[in-house]
Amino acid sequence: MSNISSIGFVGFGNMATAIFEGIKQSNIKIPKIYAFRKSEKILPKSVYKLNLDNLLKTADVIILAIKPQQLNEIAAHFKEVDLSKKCIISIMAGTKIKTLTKLNKKLNNIIRVMPNTAASIQESVSIISVKKGTNKEFITFTESIFESIGSIQKVDEEQMNFATAMFGSGPAFIYKIMEDLINICNQNKINKKNSELLIKQLFFGTSKLAQASNKPIQTLIKEICSPNGTTEAGLKKLKELNLDISMAQIIDSAENRAKKLSNE
d(CA 13, CA 115): 14
What pLDDT score was predicted for residue 84?
A: 94
What are the average pLDDT values for consecutive 10-residue runs of the chain, which has 264 residues? 85 95 89 90 92 96 94 93 96 93 95 96 97 96 96 96 95 97 97 97 97 96 95 96 96 92 68
What pLDDT score was predicted for residue 28?
A: 86
For the chain, count helices (H), then strands (E). Answer: 11, 8
- The model's pTM is 0.90
Task: Tell which residue, 109, 116, 115, 147, has the closest CA to residue 131.
Answer: 109
What pLDDT score was predicted for residue 1?
A: 44
